[in-house]
Structure 1
């Protein structure tokens, strides 16, 4: 998990403002397979949102802790039942947000 400054977190939150959640946590709960799928998706985007469905048994905090323990993803923010996740891309062609973040 990355240690981000307040300024970096604000920047990431601003970037994520227009994003829509592309993953959700439901009744099936959290599994390593689900986290691996999130990691594959975030590898190409660097910044994504996920949401918790009404039927989810976990709290937003439990989901955030599970994601951070099971991967190297950083949870930037939680708003209601939505989490903003960040992971710097490994491949140069996907590095957009991380390049801007490095300049801060």
Structure 2
């Protein structure tokens, strides 16, 4: 992805609220399927990853794993919130 598009998507994502949460069940199949649906409809989605999700404390690593499972691109990581874009 080129820098201009990445910058534009980051700017657009600032006003988004997280649509989904990864909770105590972690990245369960149901969460992945719902995220895929949301990405298909909205293209740009924010996801909140809770501390009790059982995922790594390294949010970048967790976000990249989520991207791989959902065929998405990582746009931004802010705290425990990640923004993904449909490839």
TM (normalized to structure 2)? 0.85
What residue in structure 2 maps to residue 33 of structure 1? 30
Uncovered stretches (5+) of structure 2, i.e. residues with no partner: none
Map Cα deviations across residues 20-56 of structure 1 (whole Å, 9 max, x no partner). Answer: 0011111111123311110101111110100112322
Deviates more, 1:16-25 or 1:59-68: 59-68
Uncovered stretches (5+) of structure 1, i.e. residues with no partner: 89-104
Q: How far is the alpha carbon of 1:78 from its aligned partner?
A: 0.4
**Deviation >4 Å, runs of 4+:** none
Residue correspondence of structure 1 range 58-77 to structure 2 within 5 A: 58=55, 59=57, 60-77=59-76
Please tell me whether residue 24 in structure 1 is matched to residue 28 in structure 2: no
What residue in structure 2 maps to residue 45 of structure 1? 42
Q: How far is the alpha carbon of 1:68 from its aligned partner?
A: 2.2
**CA RMSD of the aligned region, Å?**
1.5
Larger CA Rg, structure 1 vs 2: 1
Point out the structure with the larger strand share: 2
Preserved contact between residue 32 and residue 70 of structure 1 (Cα < 8 Å): no
Please tell me whether residue 56 in structure 1 is matched to residue 73 in structure 2: no
TM (normalized to structure 1)? 0.73
Preserved contact between residue 30 and residue 63 of structure 1 (Cα < 8 Å): no
Preserved contact between residue 75 and residue 84 of structure 2 (Cα < 8 Å): yes
